[in-house]
Structure 1
């Protein structure tokens, strides 16, 4: 875990790779709960029997479920002390290069891209790569944007 003591320390880290989170297992229970929350009940996500006969041999997580794991995983990698709060601001360049089969283990890696003053705080951009154990292609790559309020 990298701990930055204020915005100035975070700014000095721009352009660096901050590390990896722990591995995290994505379960069918989570996939089903995400289907319930999002209304996306496509069989490839929620029907293990049919999905076993499909292109991936098992159910796969929704891409947006994979994306929703980014805050959980990145908070294991770094934090900024001495600020009021940090909130999601958006995302750029989101893609899902490979599927995420049920019971896969994932972890995130973070590269700090920029820290820019504005909007009453600082806009932080970080490239987050969600890797799947045993795969040479990531499950998700996103430029995650947050607003850090001093």
Structure 2
């Protein structure tokens, strides 16, 4: 859950109630907010790493799937769509019609040549690579000392 805060001294792990064993774990700090989850147990270092890294992995996956556009058209990059586009790039049969946009607002696009499709797939590969690098950087820059009690 995203929490708004103007306090810059927020701790990563706080024991709320030692008798009932309730802790609050916080991460993804920005100037005015952070993510937070309440736990009904004292998390181990591995628990903390798993929760935070899972969050960044899901965020990265979301950015890959929903963060790509081509010629101002939103392109949904599910794993199936990624594989289909890669297969289309190796095709010798053109033109190829694909659907961009959303279910509510589909946009149909025609790739007229192998070169155009290959360029499109290369843009997808670049997008995925950038998203992965961003996710790795976020995980690499975590200050794990914030989670020591």
TM-score by length of 2: 0.29
Higher RCO (CA < 8 A, seq sep 6+): 1
> Normalized per residue, which structure has more helix?
2
Give the TM-score, by structure 1 length: 0.29
Q: Which has the larger radius of gyration?
A: 2
